[in-house]
Structure 1
Amino acid sequence: MDDKHHRKIILFIAILVVLIGCSRPLTERETTATAPAESGKSLRISSAGVGQGGFAIISAWLFRNLKPLYPDRDMWLDYHVTGTAFRDGLLLVADRKAEITLVNTHHLTAMALKGNGFMKRPIPLRAIAGLPFFDWCLFAVDAKHGIRSFADLKEKKVPLKIATGFLNDDNLVTFLLMEVLKRHGIDPEEFKRWGGQFVGSGTATLARKAYLAGEVDAIFQEAGFMPGWHADVKKRPTTFLSIEPAVARQMQEEFGWNSHTVPPNHYPGQKEEFVALDFSDWVLCVREDIEEELAYRIAQITVEKAREIDPQIATFGGTPNEFDPAMALKTSIPLHPGAIRYYREKGLLSN
Structure 2
Amino acid sequence: MKKKFYSVFAFLLTAVVILAGCGDGDGNAEVNIGNLQLGTGSVGGTYYPLGTEMATVIKNNIEGYDGFDLSAVASDASVENLLEIGDGNFDLGMTVHLPALDALNGEGEFSDAIDNFGFMGHIYPEVMQIVTQENSDIQSIEDLAGKNVNIGPPGSGTQAAAKLILAAYGLEDGDYTPFEEGFGDAAGRIQDGNLDASFGLLGLPASGIEELAVQRELRLLPITSEALSYIEENSGYAAITIPSDTYDFLEEDIQAITAYAVLVASTDKIDEDLGYAMTKALFENSSQITHSQGAHLTKENALLGSDNIPLHPGAEKYFKEEGLLE
Native 8 Å contact 1:148 1:240 kept in 2: no
The corresponding residue for 2:241 is 261
- Return the offset for 1:328: 1.6
Give 1:346's aligned residue. 322
Deviates more, 1:133-142 or 1:180-189: 133-142
1:48/1:242 CA distance change after superposition, 3 Å: same
Match of 1:212 among 171, 177, 191: 191
After TM superposition, give the deviation of residue 230 of structure 1 in Å: 5.1
Deviation at 1:36? 8.8
Q: How does 1:221-232 map to 2 (within 5 A)?
A: 221-223=200-202, 225-227=205-207, 229=209, 232=212
The 5 A counterparts of 1:79-94 are 79-81=73-75, 84-94=76-86
Name 1:142's counterpart in structure 2. 133
Q: 1:285 to 1:254 in 2, by over 3 A?
A: farther
Q: Alpha carbons of 1:120 and 1:103: their partners in 2 closer, same or farther (altered >3 Å)?
A: farther
1:45-194 aligned within 5 A: 45-49=37-41, 51-66=47-62, 69-71=64-66, 77=71, 79-81=73-75, 84-98=76-90, 100-124=91-115, 125-131=117-123, 133-151=124-142, 153=143, 157=145, 159-166=146-153, 169-191=154-176
Residue 110 of structure 1: SS of its match in structure 2?
helix
- SS of the counterpart of 1:325? coil
- Within the candidate set 250, 254, 260, 1:274 is matched to 254
Question: Which amino acid letter does the alignment assign opposite residue 341 of structure 1?
Answer: K
Deviation at 1:231, TM superposition (A): 6.8
Contact in 2 for aligned 1:161/1:216 (Cα 8 Å): yes
The one-letter code sitting in structure 2 at the alignment partner of 1:337 is P
Correspondence for 2:15: none
Instruction: Select which of 317, 327, 334 maps to 2:310.
Output: 334
Alignment correspondent of 1:248 = 228
1: CA distance between counterparts of 2:85 and 2:208? Answer: 35
Match of 1:16 in 2: none
Can you list the C-alpha shifts for 1:244-267, whole angstroms capped at 9, x where unaligned? 334434443443222321234544
2:275 equivalent to 1:295: yes
Deviation at 1:118, TM superposition (A): 3.4
Distance 1:92 1:204, change over 3 A: closer
The residue matched to 1:327 in structure 2 has which SS?
A: coil
Task: Name the aligned partner's letter for residue 248 of structure 1.
Answer: L
Q: TM-score, normalised by structure 1?
A: 0.68
Matches of 1:163 and 1:322 in 2, distance apart?
A: 27
Could you list the per-position Cα deviations for residues 175-233 of structure 1 after superposition, in whole angstroms to 9, with x for gaps in the alignment? 32222212210122133xxxxx2234x33233223212222222222335125635745
State the 1:236 CA deviation.
4.1
Q: Which sections of structure 1, spanning at least 5 residues, go unmatched?
A: 1-34, 192-196
- Per-residue CA deviations over 1:294-326 (Å, capped at 9, x if unaligned) read 33323322233334x3232xxx53xx4385322
Return the alpha-carbon distance in structure 2 between the equivalents of residues 306 and 286 of structure 1: 21
Q: Which amino acid aligns with 2:311?
A: L
SS at match of 1:103: strand
SS of 2:295's equivalent in the other structure is coil
How many residues were matched structurally? Answer: 292
Hey, what's the Cα distance between the residues in 2 that align with 1:108 and 1:329? 17
Equivalent residue, structure 2, for 1:203 = 182
Q: Percent identity?
A: 18
Flag the 1:305–1:122 CA change in 2: closer, same or farther, 3 A. Answer: same
Q: Tell me, in whole angstroms, the C-alpha distance in 1 between the residues paired with 2:210 and 2:80.
A: 33
The 1:130/1:198 distance shift into structure 2, 3 A limit, reads same
Residue ranges of structure 2 left out of the alignment (5+ in a row): 1-20
Query: Given residue 95 of structure 2, which amino acid in structure 1 is its aligned partner?
Result: N
> d(CA) in 2 for partners of 1:36 and 1:118?
30
TM-score (norm 2): 0.72
